[in-house]
Each structure stands twice: as C-alpha cells, then as structure tokens.
Structure 1
Amino acid sequence: MKFQTHTLKNGLKVLLSPSSGEGSVTIMAMTGTGSRYESEKENGISHFLEHMVFKGSKNYPNMKSIAEELDGVGGMFNAFTGKDHTAYYSKVDKRHFETAFNVVSDIFLNPKFPAAEIKREKGTIIEEINMYKDIPVRNVLDDADETIFGKDNPLGRTIIGSKKNILAFTRKDFVTYFEKNYVAGNSAICITGSFSEKKALSMAKKTFANMRVGDVPRHEEYVHEQNSPRINLHYKKTDQTHMVVCLPSYELNNKKEVIAEVLSTILGGGMSSRLFAQVRERRGLAYYVRADQDSYTDIGSLCIRAGVSNTAVNEALKVILNEVSSMKKGVSAKELKKAKEYIKGTTALSLDTTDAQAAHIGYTTLVRKSTKDLSVFNKAIDKVTAKQVKDLAKELLVTNKLNLTIIGPHKDEKKFLKLLKV
C-alpha cells in the first residue's frame, strides 16, 4: 500500500492513504514511545497512560462523553501500547470522518489525567496483570523476553509493568511522561480509507499546528551479550507446558532481516511448515507450534513457541531443536518459493482493514523511519536465495545463543540444559 507523508512545521507527520469507493475511514494518532522508553521505576506507565487518555480531555470531560460521541455514529475506538510505539484510533463510516477526527485529536493532544480516575484505574490495571498471569500461553512470551533480553533492559520487561509501579504512579508522573514523549516530532496522524485528502490535510494542519515541540526521546541501546544457553523455568501447575525457544536475530532495516523472515517462515510459518509437520502432524505433540521473527531498532529475535503435554516436553523440545538444526543443511526451492508467497500473502491479508493500514504506515514511519511502501518489502523478499537462508541459519542458529523459557510443572533446569544443542 502507498501513502503520502506531509510534515508540519513543528515536525508532526501526517500520513494519508486514501482509497476510492464506499467504506470506512480510520484516524489514528501514534507516538514513537512505549515500554522500552521507560526507566525501571516508570515501567508500565506507557500502557497506563494509554488507559488514562480515554478518561477525559479538553472537549470530552470523561469516558462516557467519548463513548457516546463515537457510539452515536456506530464507530469503534481503541488503543494499543507496544515496546516502541503507542496509538489511539477510531474507525467510522466515512460520513463521520470529522467526528472521529475530533475525538482522536482531542484525547491525543489534551488529556486531563484526573487524579480520581488514576486512583480508580489502578484497580483495573492490577486485574489486567492478574488476568495475563493466568494465561500461560501469553505470559510465557513476557517471560521469554526477560530470558533473551534480560530484566535489566527495558526490552526484557513487560509492557504492562509491575503491580508495585502501578500502585505508585501519581498524576505528576503521567503529566511528566506525557510532556516528554508526546511531542510533535515524535508523533504521526495516520488516516486511511475513504476520505478527502485535501480536507484531511487541512484539518490536521489546523488542529496540530500548535502541538507541543521538544526533543525526540531516545531509548537505552541494546547490545546482546551471551556465551552459553539460558534457561528460565516458571513453575506453575498447568495442564499443558508452554515453551519458547529464542535466538537473537537482526534489527529493523538490516539487509538480513528479510532473510531471517524467510527462514522463520520455512521453519514455523503456517500449517505446512517444518515444525508444524514434525511436531503436530507427525507426532501429535502439540496443538500450537510456530516460529516468528521480530525486530526492534537495535536487535531482533527469532522465537519458536509451542504448547505441549507435560509428559512430552523432552520429546517435543528434541524435535524442535532438531528442526532448528536441520535448517543449517539448506532449504529446497519449493520451500523457498512457498515461504515467499506465504509472507507476501499473509502480509497483504493483514492489511485488509483501514485500522490495520493506519497502524502499518504509522509504524513504518515512526519506528522503521522509512517511507517505503509494501512493494519494496515484497521485492526484498523475492530476492532472498536458498544460499542466503542456509548461510544465515549457520550464523544465527547456534547452541550458545539458545534461550529456553518454560511455564509448567517443571523444576529441573539441568535436564533441559542437556537438551539445548543445535
């Protein structure tokens, strides 16, 4: 998908991707900050602040007024927080573009952070933490980040933060964090779907012309140091063991990032991947098993995750590591072609809605620092060769960089350490 970038005098980027015909429009306000921009004491504030933005703004005094405004036009609204970006958006029928634009822009520019609401919302966040702790298939991913990145680095800490931090945050903390991070040069307004480009740009210029300016925040740089396998066992009485095997990979915009994406797809992308065939279809050891390549500005990770029977953990881990090791022997032309088409196809499908498109162009601009459209990514995928995948496998998939995380009724680290070889 293509989009136009307009940069206002204060540095704010207006990203427009209009489409013809009837349909929806999404207005998304995104800022290039998230949990990796937090200190240890701040951990969790990006996500908590995301909640608080909906608790009242200059023109919408409370959550009810925001909800009534958008419910009144049948629109949807939501927000999300990542490790390196946070976004607020509304998706409406194109006839109600102005309504959605006015709400999103006001809560993004003028949140009030009412002290009473902060106190009340602490209970909500605490229960959200409790909920995630009770979902091991999700919780194991947070544990896996801690294993590979370390809890002393923001990348290794959870987005939601600790209960201790949540209970300690004050209104002053929110105002300080907001004023530091929510600045024009670190933000983008993303508009996708059916709308008038001329009208949208005019409204954006008028509304955001006086947005706060300031230095674009910087995060702590990450350098991966690891000389031997790591194991993180989280003992929990569960009916199923959830495991994640991670290896450090390539950062955003590294030329090898797309090769790692192809490698990951051959290994564990889709129901015809090597891992799915060997772990689930051939042996029936897992319901879910997959591999994913994720990247940040200074590091990436290639992770395999699976949910297996408590009594089949050893066997499943052996099979997974064997498939990881086999990647170093090379891939077939058929596998390579299928992986490329899988990546391009699933990416296209993931961008089938205006809200997904808005998130994509915002992330591409603020985090990737790129103006390239999807066709450039597809061309890079097409250029990947079997030799490149094999060479990368030999480089990345090594024993001393393995990181194993497990949630389940297991305590014996030595048992698993003996199996960690590729």
Structure 2
Amino acid sequence: MYEIQLPLQQRETLENGLRLVLLRLPHLRSVSVRVGVPAGVLYEERSVNGISHFLEHLHLSASRNYPDRDAFNQQWRQIAGVRDGVTEPDFLQLAFLTAPRHTTKLIELVTEVMAPGHFSDELIEAERTLILSELAGTDASFKLPGVAGDAEYARPPAGTLKSVARLRPSEIHEWDRRLFDPRRMVVVIAGGFSEQDVEHARESFGTLRTSSASPPPRRASSPKLSLPDIRAGETRDQMPTLWLGWVMPPNASPQCRAATLFLSHVMDAPTAPLWEAVRYQATSVYHWSVDEMRVGDLRYLWVESALPGRQRNSLVRTLLEIFRDLCEPAGAREWFDHAHMNFLFGIERSFDEPHALAARILSEEIVNDGGPPFAEIIDAVRRMTPESLAASLRQIMVPERFFLHYTARRPHWLQFGLRRILAQAGIR
C-alpha cells in the first residue's frame, strides 16, 4: 500500500474563539493564508440575497487601517501579495499569498481585513457598481442543477441585480458584524513560515473582538431535489453541460467523502477509461472537461463538451458506464489499481501547492464542520479498494439522492439522445 506522508497539521482555538490551522512546509517558498466564515445563501435572509458576496468584495478592497482603496492596494504591492475571494452558497473564503519573508506583514494585513466596520459609504457604492456590472454580464437565470423551487440552494450566491441594488449600507454593516465574528472564523496558514510567524499569528488574530450581533443560522439542512431526475435547461454557455449530482448522507463517513474525491479524478485522469473513449474523437482541440463542485450537502461532477452530437453521445455514454462500473467492484477492478495509484500521487503533489492545499482544508473545516478531519479522509482514500469504493457509492447514489441534469442551447437533444444513452449504458 502506497504511504502518503501528510503534512503535520497543528490545530488550536484562540481565546476569542477563532480556529487556527497551521501546516508548516519549510521547503516551500510561499505562504498561503486563507480565511473562511460560514456565509452565503444558506445563511442569508431572502431580502439580502447576495450580501455575503458583497462583503467578500468589501473585505478585499479596504482594511481597518487603510480604508482608502488606493492606500490599501499600495500595502499589497509592497509585499507582492496576491489576494482573492470566493463566495459559495455555504461559506465565504478570502485567500492571500506571498513570499515567506513577508509573512509577518501579511498576517497584519489579513487581521485588518478580517475586522468588521471599516467600510465608507463611498466604498460601498463603488463596489455596488462593480458587482452590478458583473451581474449584468452573467446569466442571471442560472441556478444549481437538480434543485427544486426557490429554496436557499436555488438562489444565486452573488445575488440578483434587484437584490444587490436595494442593499442598504446599514444592512451591510449589520451583516458584516454578524458574519465576521472570530468565533465563526477559520484561518488556515500553509507554507514556509517560521515559529516566530506562528506566535505573531496567535497574537495578531487574537486581537479580533467578538461581536454582540447574533450570528445567522443555517437556513437549509438539505436541498430538495427536482423531479424527474433527468432534466434540461437553457443556457448562454457555449458548451453543453451534463451534471451528475448527489446529496451526501447525514454524518457521512470518511469512506463516503473519500469516494467523492476519487470520482472527479477517475473521470479526468489521463489513464481513465473516459480518455480512452474520446482519444480518437477529440482532435487537436481540448473539447471536453470534467470537474468537481461541492455546495453544502450537494456534490456535483459536471462535464462540458463541445464535441459534435454523435461523439458527445459516446462521451456521455462512457461516463455513465464508468459510474455503473464503479458501483460494481468487478467492473472497476481492471483499471482501479492504476487510477488509485495516480490519485495518491496527485494528492501528494498537492502538498507542494500550499494555496490549493489550504483551500481544501479550509473547505473541510467549514463545510464539514463536525465531520471527519481531512487527514482521516485522505487515509480512507489510501485504504480504498474496489469493494469499499462500490459500497460507499451504493450508499450515496440511491434514487432519492442522485440526479442527472443536462443543460444546453438546444435542450431537445435530451429527449432524442440522453434517455437512449442511459439505456445503452445500463443505467435506466
């Protein structure tokens, strides 16, 4: 059995309630700091849809000591720092990266960024204009595939033109205090930092004050799936997309979570059967891609393909056949060992990418709060066999938890092609 040497993780909770996760990797020449808080549409009230995304913008545009955008940007240029953010339906993440020699300054700047209440009305309106312009250029009709109705899971994380335009500065400040409380924060630091940097992080993050504002409760425990489980929809995207999704069981085991990690690799790895199926169909252009997406209890694998209809049919049919084989150990055994070994190598290589590694750990800490630690999930991947993988998938892919969703410019392709492909693949 291939042994993965996991970086030693140090976890602690500061006196103000902030959770700090440290992954020291001395051989690396960069340091990543990621901040996460439970936020997004699963915590927002309907009247303030998009306010978490609005706060993401604000916290990356100014800080407590540098409320002016230009002065704030100048501080980041001095340390050649990179900053970014993302708002998912269930958490907000701020990401920062710099060289080890600038770690002390980075920690100070991140602490200032995390403190609420430093946004001027001028900055709020400037960011509102920017967000509205972004929303105007996107497909506002998009919602998570497979989700029914207008529940929390179905709302756009960035809000709508209408909801963002009506957000009042007083609401923004109130939600800033409710969301950015150190008792709700997780900070992950990964890379080539020193012991002195750790002490500085404890001291600096420990100065963040708790808020008297009540934290917003999570408003959805599990999504309501739309029926039937094969659906079509219009999109402005150039490439048709097939979504395969499922809802994780309550208190999912490390084995179940390991199975979902393995799925995206199996579909996109160069040694996977999917590549063999399209090797001679996709010429010199990369015509298709597979990726994983996690939204609360939902897990998605989505496949984009610009192949012509007949070749796309073959691609989708092969994809569904792989799903069928994965649930039957005998069908997966022929290629499992090779794919499993490559997956373990890929995980180990990620230990040299502190930014990506910190993102994964932060997600597990917030989204799966109270669930198995990341190290246990990786250990379950390491011990995985075709039999254990099939058993885990059979727990997940039951009819009431599993769905397919096809999105294209011409959704009538679904009626003429997808049902026949499902039958040929032995799925339905």
Range class of TM-score, shorter chain? 0.7 to 0.9
1:160 aligned counterpart, secondary structure:
coil
Corresponding residue number in structure 2 for 1:243: 242
Give the C-alpha shift of residue 49 in structure 1. 1.0
Give the C-alpha shift of residue 70 in structure 1. 1.7
1:176-325 maps to which residues of 2 (within 5 A)?
Answer: 176-213=174-211, 217-219=216-218, 220-225=220-225, 228-234=228-234, 236=236, 240-250=239-249, 253-254=252-253, 255-266=255-266, 268-278=267-277, 280-284=278-282, 287-290=287-290, 292=292, 294=294, 296=296, 299-309=297-307, 311-312=309-310, 314=313, 316-325=315-324
Question: Does the 8 Å contact 2:326/2:332 carry over to 1?
Answer: no
Corresponding residue number in structure 1 for 2:409: 408
Gaps of 5+ in 2: 1-6
Give the C-alpha shift of residue 290 in structure 1. 2.4
Question: Does the 8 Å contact 1:153/1:222 carry over to 2?
Answer: no
2:270 aligned counterpart, secondary structure:
coil
Give the C-alpha shift of residue 321 in structure 1. 3.3
Deviations 1:212-242 (A, max 9, x none): 2465543121154566324131155x76433
Deviations 1:263-282 (A, max 9, x none): 4543x13122222322x225
1:305 aligned counterpart, secondary structure:
strand
Question: Does the 8 Å contact 1:276/1:290 carry over to 2?
Answer: no
1:274–1:73: structure 2 CA closer, same or farther, 3 Å change rule? same
1:323–1:381: structure 2 CA closer, same or farther, 3 Å change rule? closer
Corresponding residue number in structure 1 for 2:66: 60
Distance 1:252 1:333 in 2: 28
Distance 1:199 1:256 in 2: 36
Give the C-alpha shift of residue 32 in structure 1. 2.5
Corresponding residue number in structure 1 for 2:169: 171
Distance 2:33 2:293 in 1: 29
1:112–1:417: structure 2 CA closer, same or farther, 3 Å change rule? same
1:417–1:276: structure 2 CA closer, same or farther, 3 Å change rule? closer
Distance 2:167 2:106 in 1: 30
Question: Does the 8 Å contact 2:34/2:189 carry over to 1?
Answer: yes
Distance 2:318 2:298 in 1: 24
Alignment of 1:108 with 2:114, yes or no, is yes
1:195–1:117: structure 2 CA closer, same or farther, 3 Å change rule? same
TM-score by length of structure 1 reads: 0.83
Give the C-alpha shift of residue 252 in structure 1. 6.9
Give the C-alpha shift of residue 196 in structure 1. 3.2
Distance 1:110 1:406 in 2: 40
Give the C-alpha shift of residue 52 in structure 1. 1.2
Give the C-alpha shift of residue 167 in structure 1. 1.3
Let me know the Cα RMSD of the aligned residues. 3.3
1:251–1:359: structure 2 CA closer, same or farther, 3 Å change rule? farther
- Letter of the 1:80 partner, please give it: V
Corresponding residue number in structure 1 for 2:34: 28
TM-score by length of structure 2 reads: 0.82
Give the C-alpha shift of residue 69 in structure 1. 1.0
- Letter of the 2:183 partner, please give it: G
Distance 2:120 2:97 in 1: 26
- Letter of the 1:301 partner, please give it: R
- Letter of the 2:306 partner, please give it: V
1:10–1:185: structure 2 CA closer, same or farther, 3 Å change rule? same
Identity of aligned residues (%): 16
Give the C-alpha shift of residue 394 in structure 1. 4.9
1:349–1:63: structure 2 CA closer, same or farther, 3 Å change rule? farther
Give the C-alpha shift of residue 82 in structure 1. 2.3
Distance 1:27 1:239 in 2: 35
Question: Does the 8 Å contact 1:241/1:309 carry over to 2?
Answer: no
Distance 1:10 1:198 in 2: 21
Give the C-alpha shift of residue 86 in structure 1. 1.9
Question: Does the 8 Å contact 1:336/1:386 carry over to 2?
Answer: yes
2:105 aligned counterpart, secondary structure:
helix
Question: Does the 8 Å contact 2:327/2:391 carry over to 1?
Answer: yes
Give the C-alpha shift of residue 106 in structure 1. 0.8
Gaps of 5+ in 1: 134-138
Distance 1:366 1:235 in 2: 31
Alignment of 1:148 with 2:146, yes or no, is yes
Corresponding residue number in structure 2 for 1:362: 362
Distance 1:189 1:5 in 2: 10
Distance 2:194 2:137 in 1: 42
1:231 aligned counterpart, secondary structure:
strand
1:101–1:329: structure 2 CA closer, same or farther, 3 Å change rule? closer
1:232–1:251: structure 2 CA closer, same or farther, 3 Å change rule? farther
Deviations 1:38-78 (A, max 9, x none): 23332221111111123333310212111111212322222
1:113 aligned counterpart, secondary structure:
coil
Give the C-alpha shift of residue 283 in structure 1. 4.1
Give the C-alpha shift of residue 387 in structure 1. 2.1
1:343–1:392: structure 2 CA closer, same or farther, 3 Å change rule? same
Distance 1:81 1:252 in 2: 24
Deviations 1:379-402 (A, max 9, x none): 211222222333455555567743
- Letter of the 1:243 partner, please give it: L
1:288–1:107: structure 2 CA closer, same or farther, 3 Å change rule? same
- Letter of the 1:404 partner, please give it: H
Question: Does the 8 Å contact 1:73/1:96 carry over to 2?
Answer: yes
Corresponding residue number in structure 1 for 2:98: 92
Question: Does the 8 Å contact 2:229/2:403 carry over to 1?
Answer: yes
Q: How many residues align?
A: 409
1:414–1:364: structure 2 CA closer, same or farther, 3 Å change rule? closer
Distance 1:89 1:390 in 2: 36
1:104 aligned counterpart, secondary structure:
helix
- Letter of the 1:167 partner, please give it: A
Alignment of 1:40 with 2:38, yes or no, is no
- Letter of the 2:256 partner, please give it: K
Question: Does the 8 Å contact 1:233/1:411 carry over to 2?
Answer: no
Selected match of 2:79 from 73, 91, 95: 73
- Letter of the 1:166 partner, please give it: V
